[in-house]
């Protein structure tokens, strides 16, 4: 074990810090859950890409820098510490990108990855359906083969950013009459394709953050299928692993929140009860623990290891940490917690953050499902009935 | 930057785990609890594996390992609920003696012939002293009131706290294993109770807690090995978090065992009581919390993502 950063890693950190200091927008962007803010965030994706920071761990041929996971963690620490915007393209770069790299053909890699890294195509994930949430194998939307095309019919829902995104990826039933996780295929489609209707859905915060998608005889070229026909479930499970695992929720993000929370505690120290104080300090510790854990997993992966069902532990921990940190901030703010804009004119980021943090334990596989996975696959407990 | 455990320490810890699983089962705990004598062959085996000399320099007949390796062994002692006086001598006293340049006893300690238990002002009772005076909740812990004027050396405190935290992690892991094993065999309503979600989710919560204590513990041990000024903060973090995880593991395990867990007949209680004992030893939860708060809020330790390891 060697916890010192190498000179190369330190120089890299410096380079990232300087670039971000010069480029992170001074004005806070409008939320990406609104069209205006979405466009601003896409512009930021392109700005990042212009500095070749779109996705630092990807190979350079696809627009990355070929960096390792420790360097990625350093990048993310700096990214969130600099107050840089949320990534509009996270579904693409963190979920679909790794999926294509693992299961896609060379032609698909060349076609889809570089525009993703450049922020030119923003992706939405279309798995959930009205009757298939936690029980994703209940998917009904169909894709019927017709020559060198698939013809899609059905409905998807709760698709993040689909109100404004360019392309979507999702699972469709390609084998007529198939059941559960059999007969599904993983398809990529242009959200502008004829026959697709998007209906934005207002989320808790009031903005149209995600959308329902209706498919009416939508034609998708067969070459947009990732992996073989009927292999969709296997591919989707790998994508879900990326979603719960390291990539989507880098520790730098929670450490930055913890640092802001500690600053808030200092400002409000006079009002904070000892119990609240201890809550906050403990959450700061948990944010540190999350970082240590991630570095440990990253070091293991770099040495040839892999991450399996442990991703569920990770998902439970970060989502509940995030919610608890924002809840603590609401308490620290006291009566000001209800204000959408604070008296000093700043947006109440804690309130926005708290609302958003409530979704963490629901999406990416609800925490109840993650606890089931932990109990069954990591601890070896029996499956009884559903779940 | 490479946050992986050193393979040689992991291998040794695995060998110790196997050895203790084979020789130090709950029959040993029960026999001792009933007033039986220590089986000296168990101690001899630990000596032969080099554990008494784990942190003793090779020049004095030891293995010359670092505290990180010591923490891995302390965790195994916790996992086995070891009733031998290994940790205080080999993992607390030895590094403290070395730091003070008092190397006279090291060879005898490494040879397993001399035992040392050091008192500290924050730790008024020494475990495994001769002629037990005080009854601990842990039936296998012999407590002796520490002599007057015991020291308050911060290094000694950190060594005690670090190794207690490591034992707490091992104890928790063992309690989780026991609860999982029980949930697989105990049937009610026609199913193993482990098939019920209320039980699954309790066990999953323990697994989550432990997953995020272990790296904190390795971090603390390494900080001590590297002599960082922030080491006390990391040690306190480890002790505090390990204490909370251990109470969670113990309470979940007893709940899952139902009334069986509330008896002296299942083994679980030995582990649970050691947990309570070590949680309070070498700085209780409140003490360590205050140290963390002072460091984190007082500005002595830089906060924020850029300082994860710096
Ligand atoms: C902010 C946000 C963004 C999202 N983005 C996307 C997206 O981009 N693409 C996409 O496809 N989907 C997306 N989703 C949908 C998300 O994946 C689903 O919400 C999630 O899978 C849960 O499904 P559900 O909402 O239908 O809840 P349900 O499955 O109806 O569950 C309701 C409750 O019952 C519990 N429950 C269900 N089954 C079990 C069980 N077996 N054991 C114990 N408890 C159970 C759940 O944990 C939950 O608490 C998003 C959701 C949110 C909130």
Which residues lie below 8 Å from residue B59, measured CB to CB, with a gap of 6+?
Answer: none
Using CB atoms, which residue from B197, B214, B306 is nearest to A81? B306
> In this structure, what is the dihedral angle of CA atoms A357, A362, A364, A366, given to the nearest 10 degrees?
140
Catalytic: which of A27, A175, A243, A368?
A243
**CB-CB neighbors (< 8 A) of B186 in chain A:** none
Report the predicted TM-score, pTM, of the whole model to 2 decimal places. Answer: 0.94
CA angle A193/A195/A197 to nearest 5° reads 90
The answer to whether the CB of A169 is under 6 A from ligand 1 is: no
Q: What does the pLDDT look like over A252-279, one tens digit per residue?
A: 999 999 999 999 999 998 889 999 999 9
**pLDDT at residue B300 tops 90:** no
pLDDT tens-place string over residues A267-315: 998 889 999 999 999 999 999 999 999 999 999 989 988 888 889 999 9
Per CB-CB distance under 8 Å, the chain B contacts of A16 are: none
pLDDT digits (tens, 9 = 90+) for A97-125: 999 999 999 999 999 999 999 999 999 99
Check if the beta carbon of residue B143 is closer than 8 Å to that of residue B118. Answer: no
pLDDT in the model for residue B149: 60
Q: Name the residue among B60, B131, B130, B54 with its Cα closest to residue B93.
A: B54
Range of weakest confidence among A206-215, B160-169, B238-247: A206-215
Q: Is the CB of A133 under 6 A from ligand 1?
A: yes
Q: Judging by DSSP bridges, how do beta strands A167-173 and A123-126 pair with one another?
A: parallel
pLDDT at A61 over 80: yes
Q: CA-to-CA distance for B62 and B51, rounded, in angstroms?
A: 9
Q: Radius of gyration over alpha carbons of chain A, in Å? A: 21
- A84 interface with B at CB cutoff 8 Å: no
pLDDT at A385: 60
Does the C-beta of A268 come closer than 6 Å to ligand 1?
Answer: no
Instruction: Evaluate if residue B231 carries a pLDDT over 90.
Output: yes
Q: Are strands A196-201 and A210-221 parallel, antiparallel or unpaired?
A: antiparallel
Q: Is-contact A166 A137, C-beta < 8 A?
A: no
Percent of chain A with pLDDT over 70: 98
Could you tell me the pLDDT band of residue A387, with boundaries at 50, 70 and 90? very low
- Contact state of B208 with A317 under an 8 Å Cβ cutoff: yes
Least confident range from A117-131, B125-139, B172-186: namely B125-139
Interchain pair A292, B216: CB under 8 A: yes
**Which atom of ligand 1 sits closest to the CA of residue A203?**
1
What CA–CA distance (Å, rounded) separates A140 from A143? 10
* Model confidence pLDDT, tens digit, residues A5-50: 999 999 999 999 999 999 999 999 999 999 999 999 999 999 999 9
Distance A365 CA to ligand 1 centre (A): 6
Query: Is the separation of the CB atoms in A356 and A257 below 8 Å?
Result: no
What secondary structure does DSSP assign to chain B, as a single string?
A: -B----HHHHHHHHHHHHHHHHHS-HHHHHHHHTTPPP-HHHHHHHHHTTGGGTTS-GGGTS----HHHHHHHHHHHHHTT--SS-IIIIIIIHHHHHHTT--TTHHHHHTT-------BTTB-EEET-SS--EE-SSTT-EEEEPPTT----HHHHHHHHHHHHHHHHHHHHHHHHHHHHHHHH-EETTEEGGGSHHHHHHHHHHHHHHHTTHHHHHHHHHHHHTT-TTHHHHHHHHHHHHHHHHHHHHHHHHHHHHHHHTSSSSTHHHHHHHHHHHHHTTS-HHHHHHHHHHHHHSSSS--SGGGS--
**Average pLDDT of the segment spanning B168-178:** 98
A80: phi then psi, degrees, rounded to nearest 5: -75, -35
A205 CB within 6 A, ligand 1: no
Query: How high is the pLDDT of residue A248?
Result: 66
Phi-psi region of B35 (alpha: psi -120 to 50; beta: other; left: phi over 0): left
Reported as a single tens digit per residue, the pLDDT across A314-323 is: 999 999 999 9
Is there an atom of ligand 1 within 6 Å of A127 CB? yes
B3, A296: Cβ pair inside 8 Å? yes
Q: Residue B207: its pLDDT value, please? A: 98
Q: Apex CA B76: angle with CA B72 and CA B80, to 5°? A: 170
- The question of whether A368 is a catalytic residue gets the answer no
Instruction: Please answer yes or no on whether B218 and A1 come within 8 Å at the CB atom.
Output: yes
Taking the CA of residue B221 and the nearest CA in chain A, the distance in Å comes to: 11
Task: Identify from A1, A283, A293 which residue to disrupt to test chain B contact, counting B C-beta atoms within 10 A and taking the largest count.
Answer: A1
Q: Which helix (H) or strand (E) holds A155?
A: strand A149-160
Q: What was the pLDDT predicted at B275?
A: 98
Cα of A3 to nearest chain B Cα, Å: 5
pLDDT category at B148 given cuts 50, 70, 90 is low
Mean of the pLDDT values across residues B174-199?
A: 97
In eight-state DSSP terms, residue A259 is: H
Mean pLDDT confidence for A74-103: 94
Which atom of ligand 1 is least distant from the CA of A132? 26
Supply B241's token pair: 């978090």
Exposed, middle or buried by CB within 10 Å (0-12, 13-18, 19+), for B186?
middle
Per-chain mean pLDDT for chain A? 94
- Residue A162 CA to residue B268 CA, distance in Å, equals 52
pLDDT for residue B128 is more than 80 = no
Pairing of strands A167-173, A184-190: antiparallel
pLDDT digits (tens, 9 = 90+) for A241-253: 877 777 668 899 9
CA nearest neighbour of A370 among A291, A333, A315: A315
Distance between Cα A366 and ligand 1 center (Å): 6
């Amino acid at each position: 074990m060697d916890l010192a950063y190498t000179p190369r890693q330190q120089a890299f950190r410096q380079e990232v810090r300087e670039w971000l200091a010069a480029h992170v927008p001074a004005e806070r962007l409008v939320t990406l859950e609104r069209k205006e803010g979405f466009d601003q965030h896409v512009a930021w994706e392109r700005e990042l890409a212009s500095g070749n920071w779109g996705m630092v761990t990807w190979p350079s041929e696809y627009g990355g820098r070929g960096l390792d996971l420790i360097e990625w963690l350093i990048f993310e620490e700096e990214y969130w510490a600099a107050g840089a915007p949320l990534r509009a393209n996270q579904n693409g770069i963190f979920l679909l990108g790794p999926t294509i790299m693992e299961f896609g053909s060379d032609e698909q890699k060349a076609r889809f990855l570089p525009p993703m890294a450049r922020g030119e195509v923003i992706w939405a994930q279309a798995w959930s359906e009205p009757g298939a949430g936690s029980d994703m194998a209940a998917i009904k939307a169909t894709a019927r083969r017709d020559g060198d095309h698939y013809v899609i019919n059905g409905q998807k829902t709760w698709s993040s950013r689909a109100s404004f995104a360019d392309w979507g990826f999702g699972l469709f039933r390609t084998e007529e009459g198939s059941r559960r996780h059999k007969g599904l295929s993983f398809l990529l489609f242009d959200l502008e394709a004829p026959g697709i209707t998007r209906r934005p859905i207002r989320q808790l915060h009031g903005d149209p953050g995600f959308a329902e998608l209706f498919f009416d005889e939508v034609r998708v070229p067969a070459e947009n299928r990732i992996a073989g026909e009927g292999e969709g479930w296997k591919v989707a499970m790998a994508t879900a692993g990326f979603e719960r695992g390291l990539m989507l929720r880098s520790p730098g993000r929670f450490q930055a929140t913890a640092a802001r929370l500690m600053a808030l505690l200092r400002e409000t120290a006079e009002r904070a009860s000892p119990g609240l104080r201890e809550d906050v300090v403990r959450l700061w510790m948990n944010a540190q623990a999350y970082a240590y854990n991630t570095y440990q997993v990253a070091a293991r992966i770099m040495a040839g290891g892999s991450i399996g069902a442990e991703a569920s532990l990770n998902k439970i921990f970060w989502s509940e940490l995030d919610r608890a940190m924002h809840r603590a901030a609401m308490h620290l703010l006291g009566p000001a917690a209800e204000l959408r804009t604070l008296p000093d004119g700043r947006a109440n980021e804690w309130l926005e953050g708290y609302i958003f943090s409530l979704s963490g334990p629901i999406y990416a596989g609800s925490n109840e499902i993650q606890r089931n996975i932990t109990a069954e696959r990591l601890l070896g407990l029996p499956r009884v009935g559903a779940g | 930057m490479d946050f992986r455990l050193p393979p040689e320490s992991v291998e040794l810890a695995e060998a110790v785990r196997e050895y203790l699983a084979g020789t130090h089962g709950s029959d040993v705990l029960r026999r001792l609890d009933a007033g039986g004598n220590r089986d000296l062959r168990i101690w001899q085996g630990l000596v032969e594996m080099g554990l008494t000399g784990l942190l003793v320099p090779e020049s004095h007949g030891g293995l010359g390992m670092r505290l990180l390796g010591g923490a891995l062994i302390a965790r195994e002692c916790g996992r086995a609920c070891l009733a031998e006086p290994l940790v205080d001598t080999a993992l607390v006293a030895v590094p403290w003696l070395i730091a003070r340049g008092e190397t006279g006893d090291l060879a005898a300690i490494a040879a397993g012939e001399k035992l040392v238990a050091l008192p500290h002002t924050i730790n008024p009772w020494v475990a495994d002293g001769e002629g037990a005076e005080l009854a601990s909740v842990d039936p296998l812990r012999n407590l002796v009131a520490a002599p007057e004027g015991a020291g308050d050396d911060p290094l000694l405190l950190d060594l005690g706290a670090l190794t207690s935290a490591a034992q707490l992690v091992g104890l928790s892991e063992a309690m989780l294993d026991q609860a999982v094993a029980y949930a697989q065999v105990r049937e009610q309503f026609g199913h193993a109770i482990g098939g019920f979600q209320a039980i699954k989710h309790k066990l999953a919560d323990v697994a989550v807690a432990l997953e995020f204590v272990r790296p904190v513990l390795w971090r603390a041990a390494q900080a001590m090995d590297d002599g960082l000024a922030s080491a006390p903060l990391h040690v306190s973090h480890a002790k505090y978090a390990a204490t909370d995880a251990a109470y969670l593991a113990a309470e979940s395990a007893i709940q899952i065992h139902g009334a069986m867990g509330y008896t002296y007949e299942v083994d679980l209680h030995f582990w649970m009581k050691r947990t309570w004992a070590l949680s309070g030893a070498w700085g209780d939860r409140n003490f360590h919390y205050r140290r963390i708060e002072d460091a984190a809020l007082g500005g002595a330790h830089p906060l924020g993502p850029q300082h994860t390891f710096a």
